[in-house]
Structure 1
Amino acid sequence: MWFTLNICLYLSFSFILAASILGSDMCQLQGHFRLNGMYKNGDFIFGGLFEVDFLTVFPELSFRTEPEPPYCEQFDMESFQQAQTMAFAIDEINKNPNLLPNITLGYHVYDNCVMLGMAFRAAISLASGTEESFSNLNCTGPPPVIGIVGDSSSTASIAISSILGLFRVPIVSHYATCSCLSDRKKYPSFFRTIPSDAFQVRAMIQILKYFGWTWVGLIYSDDDYGIYAAQSFHQEIKLFGGCVAFSEILPHDNNHRDIQHITAVIQASTARVMVVFSTPSFLIPLLDAVVLQNMTGRQWIASEAWATSLVNHAPRLLPFLRGTLGIAIRRGEIQGLHEFLLRLHSSNDPKNNMLRIFWEKMFGCSFETGSKKTDGEQVKKVCTGQEDLSTTDTPYTDVSELRASYNVYKAVYALAHALHDLMQCEEGRGPFHGNSCADITNLKPWQLVHYLQKVNFTTGFGDHVSFDENGDALPIYDVLNWQPSSDGSIRVQAVGVVKEEAATGMVLTLDDDALYWNFEPKQIPRSVCSESCPPGTRRASRKGFPVCCFDCLPCRDGLISNTTDANECIVCPDEFWSNKDKDQCVPKEVEFLSYEDPLGISLTTASLLGTCFCALVMVIFTHHRNTPIVRANNSELSFLLLVSLKLCFLCVLLFIGQPQLWTCQLRHAVFGISFVLCISSILVKTMVVIAVFKSSRPEGKSALKWFGAAQQRCTVLILTAIQVVICAVWLSTASPTPHKNNKYIRSKIVYECAIGSVAGFSMLLGYIGLLAAVSFMLAFLARNLPDNFNEAKFITFSMLIFCAVWIAFVPAYVSSPGKYAVAVEIFAILASSFGLLVAIFAPKCYIILLHPERNTKKAIMGRDIQKK
């Protein structure tokens, strides 16, 4: 019953409250937030969100009264400088007659206390205003602010842009780098003057690539900034060819056990390079553990979130963090900012409580509120110290490293240029519906977003400012190196620049001489899982390990690798082969039987000796041509046989030397014709011997008339002509040609004569074999003729040698590779030629030279006479 009564009372109260609001025709503010801020009135107001305080205090809760709103403490001078830079930029724009003439800009700047809830409250206050009520039943009208500079946190920017993006309120962040904010569908009105983490990661990859660090540890904070940066890093390092040795996340609650686990992983890892994406608040506990465990010998790579953070520069960290390489947002110079910061005085405007807090922290001032006047409360300031900013040395007055503040300056000018372009629109030529322009008296935020997308200007420092289709600024970073200074602290030294270029992409420029390394002997550290594979080898992955862990295997013969860390060996072209180191393809050795080759020299010598022996025998036979033994052995056929043998010996020279078209065509033709001439002469000689002995018998008187001199010449000519025809047909249809053969030996080119036609070559050899077989048969049948005149016995022996040589030649020729096949053929020619020369002519020369008493008709005919 009481529950029902309470519901009824609540509904009645709500109805009465709603009726009173509707009856008053007023829009009323539904809530109030306690926010530190600065204000300045103007025709158009820019909003600002900055991390001026680092601690949010929540008052004690009471269920009896409405809870007090949280408030901020721990004032940060560097962040306050960023807020003052926004005030300076607006003041500078108001004084510029060329930018927004006759327009005065104002600002509402709030402190977000490095907390999402406070940042969201501040953003809602900027978007809705802080007026108690205004007379408009539809709650419409010009927005309190037309654009917001901030937030500096990626997490806060994601939340704020998700809501204010629905109303297309332009937000230009000076420090939010999460790559997720580049999604135009989710964040249609978000812009930034700092490059996104996608570019930051690529910039850090350029540093790793420059020093050859492929084996790195990754540490990142448990927030949107760290998580998205780590995801991008994993993707980019694979493209670079590097590997992440381990990936550890820094806990948001600074859990001691988690920190110990991370330090244990770092110590156990072989990686010497640690890449850290984190804000200082997440990183400090890990650095404390590094100092506690005396963990040296690591090269730290700092993301832009902590690369310039002074909180990490304490002397206790010097032995561990000196030599750190990091990237930072572009440092700039703002003329007149230092003087503006020094001119700051406490405001009598009670709304500017951020200034009051500044004086309290700076000089111990307190403020007393006097009586109310028509223009507000009178505030009296009492300070314990002298108010002179020029004598103080604080992050607030330090303008030597303007990075975040420089981005704030660019963000304010980007909004101002967008507003200026909007006001320059000519009616009928506008970009909106019906070629209309924006109504200045009722400006819509989305109209400013349109012009902000097209902003294009150059700062006084010379940096170009524009946004791509995702609202990202042109990426450019300074490369920093932490170096020890004389007073024991760490000095951050700029040693290079990384920037994106349209033609070449990310480009890193470093001054190597300016780098400091925290390794002995002050050299660049090595951080690889496996050392690089030199040229001539290839990488072979280790099973179960990342791709950066591999073995180096030498390339096989015929394959090379001419780069470091080649994944595969390259096959050399057909006429090339790998050198000894397997890093170059060199022309293959061309192999043929040359005159410089020892084997070629030996065979050439044997050929010339055989020719000389033939010539010597011819001289002997010529000199003793009238002796019975020369005349009895058919001197004409003997001389023809000697000439053909000489040609057989000389044709060997065509087989030696680099093959040419003419030598390939001649070698087998000359060889075939010479041997046919030789064998046909022996065949006719054998037939004549048989005919002579048959004519000595009564039944064979008429046999000799068929073997006269004319018939002998004609027979030799006809038999030789047949071989000539075979050679002519062969050469005209499928002529032998020079050929580079890679099949015998892969590492060499065998330069040989391709026979062209196997049938032609077989017919050539077969015809020679046929004549030799017939000669052998006839000589064998005549072997029992009288010894003193039995030349058939010598012919039989010579044919036996000839046939044995050429029968052995065939298998030896087929099985011999390269130049040795040619050598086998030459050997067969020489052996058979020498066999014919020695077997037929050596006995005769023996008698002529050593036993001239036997070189008589009586001695030759002696046995026959005795038989008679």
Structure 2
Amino acid sequence: MLSASSPPMSWVSLLLTAWSSRAPSLLLVVMVSRDVGLRVGLEGVQTSMCSRWGSRVEEFNQGQDGDVVIGGLFNLHYQPPVIDQEFIKPPLYNPCTGLEVETLKSVYAMEFAVEEINRNPLILPGVKLNYRILDSCGRHPWVLHGAFSLVGGEMESCDSTAILPQSHVSGTSSAMRGGPSIPLIIGGASSTTAIILSRLLASLSVPVISYLASCPCLSDRHRFPNFFRTIPSDVYQAKTMARLAILFNWNWIGAVIANNDYGRLAIQLLEHLNKVNFTTPNGEEFFFQGADIPAAYDLVNWKTSPDGSLKLVLIGRVDGLELHLNKTSIQWTTGTSQVPISVCSESCPPGTRRANRKGEPVCCFDCIPCTDGEVSNETGSHQCRRCPVEFWSNPGNTACIPRKVDFLSFNETLGIILTTGAVSGVVVTTAVFVIFLCYHNTPVVRANNSELSFLLLLSLKLCFLCALVFIGRPSVWSCRLQQAAFGISFVLCVSCLQVKTMVVLAAFRSARPGAGGLMKWFGPGQQRGSVCFFTSIQVIICTIWLSLSPPIPHRDLGFQGSKVNLECAMSSVVGFAVVLGYIGFLACLCLLLAFLARKLPDNFNEAKFITFSMLIFCAVWVAFVPAYISSPGKYSVAVEIFAILASSYGLLMCIFAPKCFIILLRPERNTKKQLMGR
């Protein structure tokens, strides 16, 4: 319906022409007077218009009384009125303009539904329905006014123009003066309107049934106990879109919405509506779930026809939260069935983390690999998680795995090399020992104190053997044995060299006048006693150290890596330092004595060879200290073994290689005459 009035004219002709194919043809001419209302005929429908405190409503009435009258509030116009703001009297709304055809269809749908219910004796036997419909024109004050008019059963008297059936003209005046109260209102064309109606009519227990209000807030039965609707809540659309986003692995979607409020609920029969449950002629089951009806949607897809036109194709259906989708029938904007990616960057795979690009949208990011010791086991992780201390990341940084125990073993390459070096030293030392034993009566062996030479060879063999104790899985006894064997073996070795040097010096000093009795202090017994004395001091040091604070097996978790280093931890660094310090003291003393005897006749002493051997020995152990401290894990053990082998080989080569060369390759020089030649 469309109506208009113009204040400057006393008579205005209004021609209404409504739809052709969707509704019956209708041609209506209304003559409107400012002071006189003229009624003309429209079959089955009557209309009245009224002005009160600036409001305007239209009423449609079936024209017959009923046992129950249903109220209706519809927005029949799409052009809202302009408010006259003169500030000298209450504001007055100008008439609405522009007939809303879709809303008018809803009006006739309501009329048709009432008539169908009245004609069918099986639906409401013995009950006759009627209706009153008002036009609110989308204005909240008119919605309030219309709701009070319907619920209060009154229609204010005012100047108006009515369009009524000719057969019901006699009943019009009574309709204008008043009417039955309305126990139920169909209205709330928006969520905001529905909220207003529900709050207004809740205290009167008048239910409101909306056909367009879809705000999820209206599902709250505590706030809106009298609200019902025949359209699903928007929460189903939101959940469906979320399920689609998850299904297609989208990170975000865009939505276009109107910038207004959603409505709330109400109650031109609450107890019974909660129990409504029937099946429509189409076979669809209808009932209320709280304030809502079961959600059902068709999922449609725009597809391009061969002729270039667009058409909607059914690709799935949503029943409540159940999603049924035929993904193969979807045509994307790219023209293919490949699901589009909704971010500007591919999702980061496990083992990486997202790093947002500065100055770009949050959907644009780089994938940064997790550092060693950190993992991410999900796609699109924002950060990497550090593994527990007993665990480390796998090669792909996707999971934490137990860290392997790492130590210098006999099976690895470094362990094999060091073991080979130690065993070779033992073999060479044994060979030299056998050579000296076979040639113990020759001048070369006898001239260089054969007893101390055999003892020195024995101590060198122990030095090579103690290197093997450092290789393998550390245990309580291996940790104690390796340091004790190392300290005692090297003190025994250096003590033999020191006594040999002292004997050389005493021998040449005794040749001077008045020093003949000097050698009696360096006889065989004194030599053995001196070696035992020097060695016994180291034995006492090691015993005290290992008794009070011995090295123990320790899992070094502070070492960052995929392995846990198992080592012999020095519980007392002081004990280890004293052991090394004592060895160093004897070595320096031996070097000093050998240096003093270096210019004595070469054929009678080993001072020159001992000097070279002590230089090598001291150089190796001076370099050992910083290398040992700076080496991580098992490599510190390898450094100590290397120092043991290097110093032992240095002593073996410098002291015994020249003698073996004469014994085996220059036997003509292994005579007393050759030795006494100078």
Inter-CA distance 30–679: structure 2 relative to 1 (3 Å threshold): closer
Give SS of 2:72's match. Answer: strand
Superposed, 1:767-806 pairs within 5 Å as 767-806=582-621
Indicate the residue corresponding to 1:503 in structure 2.
none
Indicate the residue corresponding to 1:478 in structure 2.
297
Q: Does 1:220 align with 2:257?
A: yes
Q: Does 1:539 align with 2:562?
A: no
Give SS of 2:182's match. Answer: coil
Aligned partner (choices 809, 825, 828) of residue 624 of structure 2:
809
Q: Does 1:568 align with 2:369?
A: no
Query: C-alpha separation between the residues in 1 aligned to 2:97 and 2:579?
Result: 112
Q: Any unmatched runs of 5+ in structure 2? A: 1-49, 82-93, 158-178
Return the offset for 1:104: 4.0
Counterpart contact for 2:497–2:610, Cα < 8 Å = yes
Q: Does 1:617 align with 2:640?
A: no
Counterpart contact for 1:594–1:657, Cα < 8 Å = yes
Counterpart contact for 2:57–2:134, Cα < 8 Å = no
Give SS of 2:288's match. Answer: strand
Indicate the residue corresponding to 1:386 in structure 2.
none
Amino acid at match of 2:227: F
Indicate the residue corresponding to 2:458 in structure 1.
643
Indicate the residue corresponding to 1:208 in structure 2.
245
Deviation sequence 1:659-678 (CA, Å, 0-9, x none): 44443333222211211121
Give SS of 2:256's match. Answer: strand
Inter-CA distance 700–185: structure 2 relative to 1 (3 Å threshold): same
Inter-CA distance 105–559: structure 2 relative to 1 (3 Å threshold): farther
Return the offset for 1:772: 1.4
Return the offset for 1:123: 3.0
Query: C-alpha separation between the residues in 2 aligned to 1:812 and 1:57?
Result: 91
Counterpart contact for 2:70–2:130, Cα < 8 Å = yes
Indicate the residue corresponding to 1:664 in structure 2.
479
Counterpart contact for 1:625–1:635, Cα < 8 Å = yes
Return the offset for 1:833: 0.8
CA RMSD of aligned residues (A): 4.4
Aligned partner (choices 495, 499, 504) of residue 316 of structure 2:
495
Counterpart contact for 2:74–2:137, Cα < 8 Å = yes
Indicate the residue corresponding to 1:144 in structure 2.
181
Return the offset for 1:806: 1.5
Q: Does 1:47 align with 2:70?
A: yes
Amino acid at match of 1:148: I
Aligned partner (choices 105, 108, 133) of residue 131 of structure 2:
108
Aligned partner (choices 652, 658, 663) of residue 848 of structure 1:
663
Amino acid at match of 2:581: G
Inter-CA distance 213–860: structure 2 relative to 1 (3 Å threshold): closer
Counterpart contact for 1:72–1:113, Cα < 8 Å = no
Give SS of 2:350's match. Answer: coil
Amino acid at match of 1:47: I
Indicate the residue corresponding to 2:6 in structure 1.
none
Give SS of 1:753's match. Answer: strand
Deviates more, 1:705-714 or 1:826-835: 705-714
Give SS of 1:219's match. Answer: coil
Indicate the residue corresponding to 2:147 in structure 1.
123
Superposed, 1:165-244 pairs within 5 Å as 165=202, 167-179=204-216, 181=218, 189-192=226-229, 194-214=231-251, 216-221=253-258, 223-225=260-262
Inter-CA distance 33–780: structure 2 relative to 1 (3 Å threshold): closer
Counterpart contact for 2:188–2:211, Cα < 8 Å = yes
Indicate the residue corresponding to 2:87 in structure 1.
none
Higher RCO by CA contacts (8 Å cutoff, separation 6 or greater) = 1
Return the offset for 1:569: 2.7
Give SS of 2:317's match. Answer: strand
Deviation sequence 1:806-851 (CA, Å, 0-9, x none): 2222233334444443333222212211111122212222222233
Query: C-alpha separation between the residues in 2 aligned to 1:474 and 1:658?
Result: 73
Counterpart contact for 2:71–2:182, Cα < 8 Å = no
Deviation sequence 1:181-213 (CA, Å, 0-9, x none): 467898564344544435543443333343244
Indicate the residue corresponding to 1:725 in structure 2.
540
Amino acid at match of 1:495: G
Q: Does 1:601 align with 2:422?
A: no
Give SS of 1:539's match. Answer: strand
Amino acid at match of 2:316: V
Q: Does 1:735 align with 2:558?
A: no
Return the offset for 1:613: 1.1
TM-score by length of 1: 0.58
Query: C-alpha separation between the residues in 1 aligned to 2:369 and 2:202?
Result: 59
Counterpart contact for 1:625–1:631, Cα < 8 Å = yes
Q: Any unmatched runs of 5+ in structure 1? A: 1-28, 59-66, 134-141, 230-407, 420-451, 501-506, 864-868
Inter-CA distance 677–219: structure 2 relative to 1 (3 Å threshold): same
Return the offset for 1:103: 7.8
Indicate the residue corresponding to 1:524 in structure 2.
339
Query: C-alpha separation between the residues in 2 aligned to 1:799 and 1:55?
Result: 110
Percentage identity across aligned positions? 48
Inter-CA distance 95–835: structure 2 relative to 1 (3 Å threshold): same
**Greater share of helix:** 1
Inter-CA distance 697–143: structure 2 relative to 1 (3 Å threshold): farther
Inter-CA distance 717–508: structure 2 relative to 1 (3 Å threshold): farther
